[in-house]
Amino acid sequence: MTTQIVYSKEFLKHDNASHPENAQRLVVMMNEIKKAPFYKELEFVEPDLLSEEMLHGIHSDEMIQQIKEMSSYGESWVDMDTYVCKSDYETARLAAGGVLQVGNDVLEGKADNAFSLVRPPGHHATGNRSMGFCLFNNAAIAANEISKKGKRVLIFDLDVHHGNGTQDIFYGRKDVLYQSFHLSPHYPGTGDIKEIGVGVGKGYTINAPLSHGNGEVAVSKLLDEIFMPITRKFKPDIILVSSGFDSHHLDLLGGLKLSSNFFGEMISRLQDVQPKIVCTLEGGYNLDWIGKCLLSQIGQMMYHPVKFDDPVREDTDVEKIIEKIRNEMEKYWKI
Residues classed as catalytic: 124
Cβ atoms of 218 and 318 closer than 8 Å: yes
CB of 191 to Zn ion, least distance (A): 12
Residue whose C-beta lies closest to Zn ion: 283
CA-angle at 262, arms to 252 and 247, nearest 5°: 25
The reply to whether 161 sits near Zn ion by the rule CB under 5 A is yes
Angstrom distance (rounded) from CA 170 to CA 198: 9
Angstrom distance (rounded) from CA 35 to CA 42: 12
- Strand-pairing partners, residue 277, are 113, 239
The reply to whether 123 sits near Zn ion by the rule CB under 5 A is no
| Chain residues 245-264 in contact with Zn ion, contact rule CB under 5 A | 246
CB of 249 to Zn ion, least distance (A): 14
The reply to whether 283 sits near Zn ion by the rule CB under 5 A is yes
Q: Is 46 helix (H, G, I), strand (E, B) or coil?
A: coil
CB of 257 to Zn ion, least distance (A): 15
CB of 52 to Zn ion, least distance (A): 27
> Judging by DSSP bridges, how do beta strands 176-183 and 153-157 pair with one another?
parallel
CB of 224 to Zn ion, least distance (A): 24
Binding range to Zn ion, per CB under 5 A, among 51-59, 135-143, 156-164, 210-218:
156-164
Q: Which helix (H) or strand (E) holds 54?
A: helix 52-56
Q: Which is nearer to Zn ion, 135 or 306 (CB)?
A: 135
Q: Which candidate, 211, 296, 289, 288, places its Cα nearest to that of 261? A: 296
Angstrom distance (rounded) from CA 49 to CA 122: 16
CB of 123 to Zn ion, least distance (A): 8
Cβ atoms of 292 and 184 closer than 8 Å: no
Binding range to Zn ion, per CB under 5 A, among 202-210, 264-272, 275-283, 298-306:
275-283
Binding range to Zn ion, per CB under 5 A, among 46-54, 69-77, 154-162, 298-306:
154-162
Q: Which is nearer to Zn ion, 59 or 248 (CB)?
A: 248
Residues contacting Zn ion: total by CB under 5 A? 5
CB of 122 to Zn ion, least distance (A): 11
Binding range to Zn ion, per CB under 5 A, among 111-119, 149-157, 281-289, 308-316:
281-289
What is the per-residue binding string for Zn ion in 41-70, x denoting contact by CB under 5 A? ------------------------------
Cβ atoms of 50 and 94 closer than 8 Å: yes
> Judging by DSSP bridges, how do beta strands 76-77 and 83-84 pair with one another?
antiparallel
Cβ atoms of 252 and 179 closer than 8 Å: no
Angstrom distance (rounded) from CA 9 to CA 7: 7
Q: Which is nearer to Zn ion, 93 or 123 (CB)?
A: 123
Cβ atoms of 111 and 43 closer than 8 Å: yes
Q: Which candidate, 280, 335, 287, places its Cα nearest to that of 123? A: 280
| Chain residues 192-251 in contact with Zn ion, contact rule CB under 5 A | 244, 246
Binding range to Zn ion, per CB under 5 A, among 13-21, 29-37, 158-166, 226-234:
158-166
Cβ atoms of 157 and 242 closer than 8 Å: yes
Q: Which is nearer to Zn ion, 105 or 159 (CB)?
A: 159
Residues making contact with Zn ion (CB under 5 A): 159, 161, 244, 246, 283
